[in-house]
Structure 1
Amino acid sequence: MSCGGDWRMLVGIDIGGTFTDVVVLTEDGNWRVHKVLSTPPDFERGVEEALRQLRLPSGFIVVHGSTVATNAVLERKGAKVALITTKGFRDVLEIGRQTRPRLYALCTERPDPIVPRERRFTVKERVGADGSVLMPLGDKEAEQVTRQAQRSGADAVAICLLFGFANPVHEKRLARKARRFRWFVSVAHEVLPEFREYERTVATVLNAYVGPRMNRYLQRLQRVVRKRGGSQLWVTQSSGGSAAPSFVRRFPIHTLYSGPAAGVIGALFVARQVGFERVLTFDMGGTSTDVALCLGEPTVTTEGEIGGLPLRLPSIAVRSIGAGGGSIAWLDEGGALRVGPQSAGARPGPACYGFGGDQPTVTDANLLLGRLDPERFWGGRLRLREDLAVRVVGQLAEGMGVSVREAAEGIVAVANANMVRALLSVSAERGYDPRDFALLSFGGAGGLHACLLAELLGIQTVLLPPFAGALSALGAVVMDTVRDFSQTVAVPLDDEGLEKARQVAQRLTERGERELAQMSFSETQRLIRIALDLRYRGQGYELTVPVQGWEVAEIRDTFEALHQQRFGHTYPDAPIDIVTVRVRSIGVRPKPSLPRLPKRRRIAPVAMRRVWVGDGQAEAPVWARGQLCASAVLTGPCLLVDDHATAYLPPSWRGQVHETGCVIVRKEEG
């Protein structure tokens, strides 16, 4: 499948629980945004309806983000998986690690293993840490164990042998035999060729667990795209790059965080267009909030987690919490106000939607504080009912012994405190001062809280981008194609060890170059980035260090600077080990520009709204984003509305409209 060269018309599609967002970039540089209701569980029907309504000319390319694999893991609705592993390692999925989510809890519950013990099979074989074969795998035993797995009723098989990343000869033999049964086959040295048996086994099993479901979905989706005139389909990855369906069908585990990752890519694209490189991204939707830190590039990590399981594959470092517009406010046993993680969802949704919701939510609280315009929510297609919000928040207020307004302010304050903790976890806890960043807010509810969060964190600049309600779909449009490679080497950081690491990096680089060439990326469109996972000898964790030159002293200095920033200390005389070599091959696509607003035109508020400010109310203009012009100034308190999102500027905040439509909001001195 060709990917490089001239992409005439790009269609970015992001499927959420409530809406399917579509952003179209045409050949002449025009942008279109469209939303339709999502259609779970058959999400491709929503995609087909969106493409039908858009009536695009044939030949367009779809870049698509999906939660199909994510939901399969979180809801435990994946395939029946059989695991084949080395004798003595049958129970590694249950043994796991010593780490606990709550350190001082006397009783903890771990998620059940995805593969029950009766579908876990072992073989007598052994490969050493250096790749030498200590005990050969007999052909008869390989045949026997694959037939046992086949008789177990499994839909997919995961193969993960001890030190298979150092020498995959036995894993390959088992895979050849397993593929005769037309299963989905997931092999560890292909999924994650790195050390740490538990994490490697989890990754291999998760890949098998979501594989059959993702394959069926992609087949249906490709038929929809072809039916509506599309020429190609690409899929977003957790790492922030797109991939061909052929790759995703083999390794669907790379899509587990594709939605939040696309949002970060879209946010950083907008930030660069208005001159900002260091941003904290803040995506607040109906049920959750995703935050990330960008230092000119998204922060990529291999320390992810999903459903209580570790995820060691490269993904953009996004922290997700259960705080959204639909998050429910409640009182705990001690009478303290809590918000989330339970959510009212889209149906019945917040009480003010009028769909039968009977519990107070963050959206109800914002409406009662005047920060939502009931006549212009969702482009006027849904009129919010303040009377219903008063009823449910009033019931909560009665239990708290406060007024309805005070209860609403409390709901927003608690939600903000939860989101501040999330933002600190990706900034201050990693050695970065949040005051050195701009806060870029998106998602349907993000703009309502962005300035308030900035005040709590001491951030002076907030960015309110265009397409705020569809930034993940925009991220899919502007996303590069990415392929990540890794290989554990476990050598000292000295001249000999570094040379071995360089040779491994060279092999991985050549592999990445070949794959990009096969996708029709020219030499000028290819970018290779090399990094090393390093640690002081004896440590149980690593830091990923970008490689600019193959010099021991330079790499050591970079590692120690990162260690000082992250942990506040270094060990100057301690030896350092190179654990894993990482290569990222990037097929770079030209980046479009956002549409420009007219420079001058008369604008006027579309309405006035009374908002609560402290103990009193103030008149606040309601500005329609579609009527703004470049250089227009918005002074708080005011609301900024469009069809898909609302932003609130409190008093002492002042926004200036950039020619791209992004509103740059700053705290006024004094």
Structure 2
Amino acid sequence: MTGRWEFWIDRGGTFTDVVGRRPDGRLVTGKLLSHRPGSTEDAAVAGIRAMLGIAPGAPVPAERIAVVKMGTTVATNALLERTGEPTVLVTTEGFRDALRIAYQNRPRIFDRRIVLPEALYERVIEVPERVDARGTVVRPPETDAVRAELARAYEDGLRSAAVVLLHGYRYAEHEKAVAALAKEAGFPQVSCSYEVSPLMKLVPRGDTTVVDAYLSPILNRYVAEVARQLPGVRLMFMQSNGGLREAAHFRGKDAVLSGPAGGVVGMARSSAEAGDGYDRVIGFDMGGTSTDVSHYAGSFERIFGNEVAGVRMRAPMMNIHTVAAGGGSVLHFDGRRYRVGPDSAGAVPGPACYRRGGPLTVTDANVMLGRVQPAHFPAVFGPDGDQPLDDATVRERFVRLAEETAEATGDRRGPEEVAAGFLDIAVLNMANAVKKISVQRGYDVTRYALTSFGGAGGQHACAVADALGIGTVVVPPLAGVLSAYGIGVADATAMREQAVEVEIDPESDATDLEGVHGVCDRLAARTRRELLDEGVPEGSVTTRGRVMLRYAGTDSAIGVALETPREMAAAFVRAHRARYGFTMDKPLIAEAVSVEAVGAAGGSAGHEVPTGERAGKLLPVATVRMFAQGRWQDTDLFSRDDLRPGDILTGPAIVAEDDATTVLDPGWQARAGERGHLLLTRARPRSGGPAVGTDADPVMLEVFNSLFMAIAEQMGVRLESTAHSVNIKERLDFSCALFDHEGSLIANAPHIPVHLGSMGSPSRRCSGGGAARTGSCGRAMCTRSTTRTTAVRTCRTSPSSPPSSTTPARSCCSWWPRAATTPRSAASPRARCPPSAAPSRRRASSSTTGCWYGTAGCARTRHATCSPPGRTRPGRRTPTSRTCGHRSPPTRRASANCAR
């Protein structure tokens, strides 16, 4: 111990959480409002004063504090409210609107009146200059005109400049020259793209640079104000990538996920200390407005591109997915089905139970079902903040909603069933969010534990785990302030990236890649020096490099450790197959190098666990009524402070604590861990869900709508991530949808709507309309026109025989093996075409997906390649034949020997 205090603080938009580590190593916690009427003191400083016992206005003694580590939403709030620094964008002549046009994709596809997001920059200055893609100067910059424009912008009140020149990451001298002119004009903040994001692609590089210029001045002013109130105290801030930096090096682009990143670190460290330790966990952080989910499998999962508050940026940050399903999410009934969110009741007026006239929310549903007990919840509600939760109003509102449902749909259910239905929908929304950061990326969540934290996480953790097939839930001892705890135990880090664009030869045994290792060494030396300059002990600093690999022609890069070419290629192939289900026979491109220097923080801080003997066995504080499994049940309610290591609880049960409530559903069991964790496990198999009939059900309508939408959206993510065409991977010019066997639309993802009117036609054609024949349920069909290739998955209850070898070509193609006489399993449709059916060696037109095709020109779906009989392309699976056609003359029969 240092003999001095440490303070770990998560300053959120509503509350500020403070964890203090005393000189003896014990932890104390506090929570206060981030904005207090009548006070000019920052909430973080006020929390420090309260723990040290210092009166307001008195100086804070720096000698008693070793370090203050903070995460803040200042940058995020500035993005949301558009209150950043007025910024001028300086870019290459002729590209003033490049960032505004961006990728031309529409965020709200069905809006006829398109409203573009508000730009962060207020003015654009064009620089007469040009550098080509190889970094060769085509036209030197004409500085006189730029100098005058910058001076004029400064006179008009602009104080921040973002310099983004074409191919600036290849040749930085032009950006350096413009930056010098901006500083000469008086701009205190100048962000250059070659420093902020030295990677390919003008739009993400430019967006990130503008974000940095827009947010850094706001962040710098906040840091300076905290430093003024804590003179002489060492300040460190949490970055979006999960590492700490000294206040002087904290930049705007690295601050947008500062608080949530602390939650991921806290989740990982706390889970490792639970029981025998969990190194595969899903983070489940449920708050009042939204739920954040994250994935951890022994190392932090970072992404290098994200959209926050409608603003695109490319910077290393924790892979955190947010869904609008929090305790304050509003419950809706539109006359046919129930919906949860996305709007939130907020803190004012808040849920209906807050006694301020708010709408029904997820929190109210928990109150209605007895999962939250007003008698065991702080009495801080009402106009004067001294009344308990209002369960009477909640019940009255749900009774009224049940009557409205019965009148509109004929579905007669009690108010408890209405509330339970809304919770089912909320749970499904949160489970779908988890799938986006796990299943969608090739991870089997059934092998993971779910770590639940946040104020509302414990109320739904068992239900979310059931929806995902997860059998273990970890509830940390500081679940209500886990983000602040994570900030305290995080390492100091510095990260740098740089584009390289080098082809990797997987067959090479070389241990060195010319250029790649050189870049890595330079970045490692730079990041290491940054940490040493911040006072991190040299012996604790380590560096690790990663290479972002992708297939030539695609944009989906996957990070692998910097090793030999063969080892990197093997790691990439494994990751690509796990994520997308296939591999390609294409060259590998090393797109960029990322290096991280880490200054280890040492062992994590322990939490004091009550270990004293108890006078007798564990007894519940009360026995309450809770609605579970369709009926009211007597449920024991325990205080978490009464638990001792080894205590066992059996559901249904409720565990209450100062800042959180954990609900143990029937069939679950909880054990108190040695370090204060609650370890929840499913004690008996989950019973089957209720039978679904054909009558309109407002709950199941929304449940199936969410499931079908999730399927369509995941189809789109796969297509976007693996596409070659710029129209597909950037403009998102495609549509994914689900149809029934009659071709009627069931659900569509938010893609281009113009396709939806015609997508039902090929579905009807392939599912049995006309002369086309289909297979058993789930068999794949495809059609081709001169403008597109459409893949259709049929769902027929009775199979029909496959087309014979003499069947005339039609508008559908079936993936049955030609050699088979009956349909084979969809999982293994492999058989060779006879030699007589060899395809012609012609290339498909640009309107298809780049496949070989046979004499009748039937196109395969993406990533398929046809080959002559008996031959396959290297790295491909066994070829599969299929009968195809598109209204060819009856004398011509199309067939192809394709590797699938």
Q: TM-score, normalised by structure 2?
A: 0.70
Worse overlay, 139-148 or 178-187: 139-148
Deviations 1:46-80 (A, max 9, x none): 22321221116722311111111101111222221
- Counterpart of 1:577 (choices 576, 585, 589) is 589
2:580 is matched with: 567
* 1:622 paired residue number: 637
Match of 2:138, SS state, is: strand
Which residue of 582, 600, 604 maps to 1:588? 600
Matches within 5 A, 1:231-250: 231-248=233-250
The whole-number CA distance in structure 1 between the counterparts of 2:198 and 2:3 is 33
Structure 2 counterpart of 1:16, one-letter code: G
Which shows bigger deviation, 217-226 or 366-375? Answer: 217-226
1:66-106, CA deviations, whole angstroms, 9 ceiling, x for partnerless residues?
A: 11110111122222111000011100121111444467877
2:566 maps to which of 548, 553, 564: 553
The Cα offsets for residues 327-358 of structure 1, whole Å up to 9 and x where unpaired, read as 110123x532111111111122111122x133
Is 1:388 the counterpart of 2:393? The answer is yes
The equivalences for 1:16-35 within 5 A come to 16-35=12-31
Aligned ranges 1:89-488 → 2 under 5 Å: 89-101=95-107, 109-116=115-122, 119-180=123-184, 181-226=186-231, 231-248=233-250, 251-274=251-274, 275-332=277-334, 335-354=336-355, 356-378=356-378, 383-401=388-406, 402-488=413-499
Answer yes or no: is the 8 Å Cα contact 2:480–2:660 preserved in 1. yes
Structure 2 CA distance for partners of 1:293 and 1:611, relative to 1, 3 Å: same
Match of 2:569, as an amino acid?
Answer: R
Retained in 2: the 8 A contact 1:367–1:373?
yes
Does the CA contact (< 8 Å) of 1:328 and 1:360 recur in 2? yes
| SS class of match (2:237) | strand
Code of the aligned partner of 1:390: R
With over 3 angstroms needed to count, the CA separation of the structure-2 counterparts of 1:285 and 1:90, relative to structure 1, is same
Q: Which amino acid aligns with 1:15?
A: R
Q: State the Cα deviation string for residues 583-639 of structure 1 (Å, max 9, x = none).
A: 011111112342253445343221221101233211111111112110111111111
Q: Given residue 318 of structure 2, which amino acid in structure 1 is its aligned partner?
A: I
CA contact (8 A) 1:442 1:464 kept: yes
1:276 aligned counterpart, secondary structure: coil
Does the aligned pair in 2 maintain the 1:122–1:145 contact within 8 Å? no
Would you say the 8 A contact 2:379–2:388 is kept in 1? no
Between the two proteins, what is the percent identity of the paired residues? 37
2:159–2:187 Cα contact (<8 Å) kept: no
- What is the DSSP-based 3-state SS (H/G/I as helix, E as strand, rest coil) of the residue aligned with 1:60? strand
Q: Which residue of 1 aligns with 2:550?
A: 535
User: 2:199·2:497 contact (CA, 8 Å) conserved in 1?
Assistant: yes
Say which is worse superposed, 538-547 or 238-247, in terms of deviation: 538-547
CA apart distance, 1:510? 0.6
Report the AA paired with residue 294 of structure 2: A
Q: Comparing 466-475 with 340-349, which one deviates more in the overlay? A: 340-349
- Aligned-residue Cα RMSD (Å) equals 2.1
Find 2:45's aligned residue among 37, 43, 48: 48
C-alpha separation in 2, matches of 1:541 and 1:101: 21
- After superposition, give the CA deviation of every residue in 1:366-397 in whole Å (9 maximum; x if it has no partner): 01101112122248876211012123333333
Quote how far apart the aligned CAs of 1:492 are.
1.1
Partner amino acid, structure 1, of 2:65: G
Q: CA deviation at 1:540?
A: 2.3
Cα deviation digits, residues 389-439 of structure 1 (max 9, x gap): 123333333322242212211221111111011011111111111111100
Report the Cα distance in structure 1 between the residues aligned to 2:215 and 2:605, rounded to whole angstroms.
36
Contact 1:360 1:396 in 2 (8 A): no
For residue 569 of structure 1, what is the amino acid of its counterpart?
F
Q: Which amino acid is 1:283 matched to? A: D
Instruction: Tell me if structure 1 keeps the 8 A contact 2:610–2:641.
Output: no
Q: Is the 8 A contact 2:520 2:545 kept in 1?
A: yes
For the 8 Å contact 1:13–1:22, the answer to whether it is kept is yes
Alpha-carbon spacing, 1:501–1:575, altered in 2? closer, same or farther (3 Å):
same
In structure 1, how many angstroms separate the alpha carbons of the residues matched to 2:213 and 2:532? 29
Partners in 2 of 1:517 and 1:234 — Cα distance? 14
CA distance in 2, matches of 1:649, 1:287: 23
User: Number of residues paired by the alignment?
Assistant: 654
Cα distance, 1:609–1:348 mapped onto 2, change above 3 Å: same
Rounded Cα–Cα distance in structure 1 between residues aligned with 2:247 and 2:259? 16
* SS in structure 2 of the partner of residue 78 of structure 1: coil
Contact 1:624 1:641 in 2 (8 A): yes
Q: Indicate conservation of the 8 Å contact 2:668/2:684, yes or no.
A: no
Specify whether residues 7 and 184 from structure 1 end up closer, same or farther in structure 2 by C-alpha distance, changes over 3 A only: farther
Amino acid at match of 2:439: A
Task: Report the 3-state secondary structure (helix = DSSP H, G, I; strand = E; otherwise coil) of the residue aligned with 1:538.
Answer: coil
Deviation at 1:25, TM superposition (A): 1.8
Q: What is the CA-CA distance between 1:153 and the residue it aligns to?
A: 3.1
Check whether the contact 1:378–1:642 (CA below 8 A) recurs between aligned residues: no
SS in 2 for 1:415: helix
Q: Where does residue 884 of structure 2 map in the other structure? A: none
The residue number in structure 2 matching 1:641 is 656
Distance across 2 between alignment mates of 1:423 and 1:150: 47
**Structure 2: distance between partners of 1:155 and 1:514:** 30
1:655 counterpart (666, 670, 684) = 670
**Equivalent residue for 2:88?**
82
406-415 or 177-186, which moves further after superposition? 177-186
Larger relative contact order (Cα-Cα within 8 Å, sequence gap ≥ 6): 1
Q: CA deviation at 1:16?
A: 2.1
CA displacement 1:556-605 (0-9 Å, x = unmatched): 1111111111111112x411111111101111111234225344534322
Q: Which runs of 5+ in 1 are unaligned?
A: none
Secondary structure of the residue aligned to 2:550 is strand
Give the Cα separation in 2 of the matches to 1:440 and 1:109: 39
Distance 1:77 1:611 in 2: 46
The one-letter code of the counterpart of 2:181 is K
| SS of residue paired to 2:9 | strand
Between the aligned partners of 2:635 and 2:671, the Cα distance in structure 1 is 17
Shift of 1:8: 4.4
Query: In 2, distance between residues paired with 1:268 and 1:63?
Result: 18
Give the conservation status (yes or no) of the 8 Å contact 1:628–1:657.
yes
Q: Which has the higher helix share?
A: 1
Shift of 1:234: 0.9
Shift of 1:40: 6.9
Matched position secondary structure for 1:498: coil
AA at the equivalent of 2:199: E
Query: What is the TM-score when the length of structure 1 is the normalising length?
Result: 0.94
Say whether the 8 Å CA contact 2:417–2:630 is kept in structure 1.
Answer: no
Q: Contact 1:237–1:255 (CA<8 Å) still a contact in 2? A: yes
